[in-house]
Amino acid sequence: MIKEIMERRSIRKFSSQPIDKIDILHIIESGTKAPSAKNRQPWKFIVVQGNAKEKMLQAFYNGVQREENGTACLPGSVQFISGARYTIEIMKQAPVIIFVLNTMGKNMFSSMTDEDRVFEVCNIQSVSAAIQNMLLAATERKIGSLWICDIYFAYQELCKWLDHDGELLAAIALGYPEEQPKPRPRKKIEEVVEWMG
């Protein structure tokens, strides 16, 4: 997997070639092999493809459009809304979108006790580990992927459309790549490592 770690890129241009169900299941199964806090496995994956994408994209679009009448979901982040619009266009192209839920999640915007916050952070780390496994498993099968959190710009609309228990955390776009991006820059190793002892 070191090869896949090095080769994985966020893909934003996909061909319309469908992905076999067996590959989608393999990618999800790879996600479920991730470690999780107390082995709680607090994840659920909703696979959206074909016609089912239309209502989802409409919900995303409606959420993003709220900026126009001053009721944006994240009013302090309106400068990033154009990025969210671009993400919608990427999701339109991708033949498969997987929504990832934290099944033990509290309400994203509620206040929490310290214990609840620790529980939440551990569950989110667990689900994030699953997502990364999925991206690497996709890379291994030459399937492109994009981890998407712009969904938070239409959080209420997308949760209503999903109509599932649990906390929506992210979406993953999957499809065969129609671009081969160069590696994006990373901070120098000296910047991010500190040695003690």
DSSP 8-state class, residue 10 = B
Q: Between β-strands 43-49 and 96-102, what pairing exists: parallel, antiparallel or unpaired?
A: antiparallel
Residue 150 as a binder of ligand FMN (CB under 6 A): the answer is yes
**Which of 9, 13, 40, 141 contacts ligand FMN by CB under 6 A?**
9
Q: Least separation, in Å, of the C-beta of 138 and ligand FMN?
A: 12
Question: 7 Cβ partners below 8 Å, 6+ apart?
Answer: 139
Q: Which is nearer to ligand FMN, 25 or 149 (CB)?
A: 149
**Which of 30, 87, 123, 126 contacts ligand FMN by CB under 6 A?**
87
Between the alpha carbon of residue 136 and those of residues 144, 166, 171, the distances in Å are: 10, 25, 15
Residue 187 as a binder of ligand FMN (CB under 6 A): the answer is no
**Which of 19, 91, 146, 172 contacts ligand FMN by CB under 6 A?**
146
**Which of 100, 104, 134, 148 contacts ligand FMN by CB under 6 A?**
148
Residues 167 and 142: their CA atoms lie apart, in Å, by 30
Q: Specify the residue for token string 């209502």.
A: 55
Q: Which of 31, 65, 20 is nearest to 170 (CA)?
A: 31
- Which one of the spans 27-35, 36-44, 98-106, 147-155 is the region binding ligand FMN (CB under 6 A)? 147-155
- State the residues that interact with ligand FMN by CB under 6 A: 9-10, 12, 87, 146-150, 184
